[in-house]
Amino acid sequence: MKINIGLIGAGRMGKVFANTLAYTVSEVELVAVADPNEICLKETQEKYGISKGYLDYRAILDDKEIDAVVISTPTNTHSQIIKDAALAGKNIFSEKPLSQNIKECDDAIAIVKQTGVKLQLGFMRRFDATYMMAKSKIMEGLIGKPVMFKAVSRDPKRSSLEFARRENSGGLIVDMGVHDFDLARWLMGSEVDRVYSEGACIAYPELKDVGDIDNVVVNLRFTSGAVGNIDMSRNAVYGYDIRTEVLGTEGSVWIGYLQQTAMLMLNRQGVTHDTVPYFMERFGLAYAEEIRAFVKHIVDGTNPTVSGEDARAATAIGIAATLSLDEQRLVKVSEVL
């Protein structure tokens, strides 16, 4: 049984999903794409052999042939399209975050529950083989009780200034940090109680003009009593650097890698190796696996393991951490709920 998919959004991430849906996940048929940019729409249709193209995403929702939609539009549009898709009876896979606003998260979740469609959010790191193995080892008790979470999330370059605007993406903390906030809850098995953020805009001073920063450290206190720390950067010029550690009472698990290929160059100048270039080289398989999991939930009639509530919780942590940055104080997550 193949699931007919309509892709909403054909920008940078839309093309990532178009490639995954068209060439990697055999369980689906990519039958339609929608994007308001006519040039982008036609390019995507031609490149990936998509038969139907619409300028208005609502045409995809009206298409009776389509079983489910993949949403990869700008961040500030996710919740509205999710609500529209749910009311149209379409199962929904949406890129993160669910919204930049808790009320909008709640409204979207309520309509999804009311209509009974499936909703899965794009936290692809949960579907990465290394992270999945680490979660399994933690669940088996091999490191004892988790007491500390540490994460590094560093991009090799900044995003566009337009994307970096808070009203468009939520800013560095919400846009990038939401992955780590989700991992923190998932790997530690605990909610985050409070946060404290320190950030700076040094490498790319132009980000100040759009209200964003290029580097930040967020400290966490979990309801379990455990502690955590996440550093995020837009200027890891050496490569795409994503690493995580969970320290327990009986050991530690380290997740991630910086060296892309198993080759070292040794000469008089020293020893060198390459690094992970960017996110598709690191998480390409995880993007495919999260779509496969979504399709399996539709076919089996089961609920996605990465739910709207998970996305809401990660968003709340991001909003609290941004408030902490702005007001230079410790913020309890409950303040923003």
DSSP per-residue letters across 236-287: -TT--EEEEEEEETTEEEEEE-S--SS--EEETTEEE-----SHHHHHHHHH
The β-bridge relationship of strands 52-54 and 28-34 is parallel
Residues 33 and 165 grouped into a single domain: no
Domain final residue, candidates 125, 159, 192? 125
Residue 75 covered by a domain = yes
* Within-domain flag for 203: yes
Task: Name the DSSP letter for residue 296.
Answer: H
Question: At which of 107, 125, 143 does a domain end?
Answer: 125
Q: Look at residue 231 in the predicted model and tell me its pLDDT.
A: 98
Considering the domain architecture, whether residues 85 and 143 belong to the same structural domain is answered as no
Does residue 80 belong to any structural domain of this protein?
yes
Which pair of tokens denotes residue 226? 């455990």
Q: Is residue 250 domain-shared with residue 328, that is, in the same domain?
A: yes
pLDDT of residue 163: 94
* Co-location of 15 and 80 in the same domain: yes
Residues 6+ apart with CB under 8 A from 180: 151, 153, 230, 232, 244
Asked, for residue 297, whether it belongs to a domain, the answer is: no
As a whole number of angstroms, the distance between CA 28 and CA 9 comes to: 18
Same domain, residue pair 140 and 71? no
| Inside any domain, residue 53 | yes
The answer to whether residue 92 scores a pLDDT higher than 80 is yes
Mean pLDDT calculated for residue range 268-279: 97
What is the pLDDT at residue 51? Answer: 94
Give the C-alpha separation, 156 to 233, whole Å: 8
Residue pLDDT, tens place only, 2-36 = 899 999 999 999 999 999 999 999 999 999 999 99
CATH code for the domain in which residue 254 is found: 3.30.360.10
Question: pTM to 2 decimals?
Answer: 0.96
Residue 289: inside a domain: no
Domain membership of residue 176 (yes or no) is yes
- On whether both 94 and 146 belong to a single domain, the answer is no
Q: Cα dist. 269→259, 266, 301 in Å?
A: 19, 8, 58
- Output the domain CATH number for residue 28: 3.40.50.720
Do 71 and 219 lie in one domain? The reply is no
With bands split at pLDDT 50, 70 and 90, how would you rate the model's confidence at 1? confident
169 in the same domain as 317: yes
Q: Tell me: the pLDDT tens digits for 127-153?
A: 999 999 999 999 999 999 999 999 999
Share of the chain above pLDDT 70, in %: 100
Residues 103 and 168 in one domain: no
The reply to whether 151 and 95 lie within a common domain is no
Could you tell me the residue range of the domain that residue 240 belongs to?
A: 127-284+313-336
- 233 and 245 housed in the same domain: yes
Q: Domains in the chain: how many in total?
A: 2
Q: Are residues 198 and 60 in the same domain?
A: no
Q: Is residue 298 part of a domain?
A: no
Of 95, 125, 155, the last residue of a domain is 125
